[in-house]
Structure 1
Amino acid sequence: MTERCNWSTSNSLMIKYHDEEWGVPLHDDQKLFEFFVLEGFQAGLSWQIVLNKRENFRKAFDNFDPVKVAAYDEKKYNELISDAGIIRNKAKIAACINNAQRFLEVQKEFGSFDKYIWSFVDYKPIVNKFTSLDQLPAKTPLSDTISADLKKRGFKFVGSTVIYAHMQATGMVNDHLVSCFRHLEVNDLI
């Protein structure tokens, strides 16, 4: 039997996400924006809730195209807060539109969001060697630093815990437990 991080075993969708995406170093700006949006919507909720609605989010937010999302007007905002397929939190929806605009500013300044966000880890994932879920931090001094920089740039819903979850999801840190088969597989991708 394959051993995996025990947070991921509740259903087939979580297993697929764990086995194929979580912790894999991600450098595609549009996918980075997708995780940025989804992590923001997760704030205060479980990842399972967000993952269950991921396809609806993709449809509602134009496949997470930051250029399109940045241009959303009041009509589109009202459509989103009426969309039962997504999490209809007005503040999070407004933050998503704002964050798309800030995301484009970062792309313009750095050439890509990827160059900006990965610069915080010197473009190389941090490999942790945790043996139990109790050891996984909710945030770190580095996620505090990134969060503060994003807030300074005008981003919303980017607290340190949200940012650490983003770092885990996009492979900036490898937080697969050492007993998990993905720990070594993800390291081999580095």
Structure 2
Amino acid sequence: MARLEKFSDIWARACERKGGPAVVKSMLPDTLDIDEISQYTDAQLLSVMSKRVFQSGFVWRVVDNKWPAYEKAFFGFEPMKVLMLSPDQIQQRATDPELIRHQKKTQAIVDNAYMIQHINQEHGSFAEFIAHWPSDDITGLWQVLKKRGTRLGGNTGPYFLRAIGKDTFLLSQDVQAYLTGHNVVDAGFTSQTALRQTQAAFNHWQQESGMSLAQISRTISLGVGDNRV
């Protein structure tokens, strides 16, 4: 792995491309603290998680427009109520024209309700489990979501975390292009080696800059390629 570029240089490049520090700062995402994330209910988390699952590979606007119907069909995403659905009821929802016809993504709502319940049993609170996970091992949390949940691999799990305010970087196309082009990683991004190398780089930049992982990730994306954030 090559020597890391200074974050000050990454920042300067983004400012040059986007019109100055004030503009870049206005484009940086906010994150929530531990206490704020801990306040989420299981239903809120399952709703956001399920929405991100459906948005993967779909036009996000279509999913947004249909989400009120999902909230009604899945009882406000209360996990215990979702888990009471029979196979026939799940199938009906997977073929409902008011919703999105996708069997596997519909089943993922139920599977992820099980995951939330199991983590609650183990740790007392799914929200607190997420809230207290250390940012310097955020890829470890990605792996938990991928292994224990359904359809939460790739960027879906990280997008879910970003949506609820948990500090995480994203491996967008531009961030991947930067990491590859600067030899920060020397393996495929689905590998444990690449995730360790990426986490180490972001930890270094966070210590250097004092910025959140999410802000560092956004700054990188604003300085390269097509600015896919």
The yes-or-no answer on 1:146 pairing with 2:141 is: yes
Distance 2:142 2:162 in 1: 14
The yes-or-no answer on 1:63 pairing with 2:72 is: no
1:99 equivalent among 72, 87, 112: 112
1:1-34 per-residue CA deviation (whole Å, 9 max, x = no partner) reads: xx975xxxxxxxxxxxx9xxx8565431221111
Tell me the TM-score normalized by structure 2.
Answer: 0.54
Report the equivalent of 2:132.
Answer: 119
Amino acid in the other structure paired with 1:164: P
Higher RCO (CA 8 Å, separation ≥ 6 residues):
1
The answer as to whether partners of 2:79 and 2:117 remain within 8 angstroms in 1 is yes
Aligned to 1:146, the other structure's residue is in SS state helix
Amino acid in the other structure paired with 2:106: I
1:57-102 per-residue CA deviation (whole Å, 9 max, x = no partner) reads: 1011111111111222112112202212222210111111111112
Cα distance, 1:92–1:109 mapped onto 2, change above 3 Å? same
Distance 2:78 2:57 in 1: 25
The yes-or-no answer on 1:162 pairing with 2:156 is: yes
The yes-or-no answer on 1:88 pairing with 2:133 is: no
Higher fraction of helix? 2
The answer as to whether partners of 1:23 and 1:169 remain within 8 angstroms in 2 is no
Report the equivalent of 1:39.
Answer: 52
What fraction of aligned residue pairs are identical, expressed as a percent?
A: 25
Report the equivalent of 1:129.
Answer: none
What are the ranges of 5 or more consecutive residues in structure 1 without an aligned counterpart?
6-17, 127-140, 179-190
Cα distance, 1:54–1:88 mapped onto 2, change above 3 Å? same
Amino acid in the other structure paired with 2:151: F
Report the equivalent of 2:204.
Answer: none
Which is greater in Rg?
2
Amino acid in the other structure paired with 1:117: I
Distance 1:77 1:33 in 2: 16
Report the equivalent of 2:166.
Answer: 172
CA shift at 1:152, angstroms? 3.2
What are the ranges of 5 or more consecutive residues in structure 2 without an aligned counterpart?
1-22, 168-211, 220-229
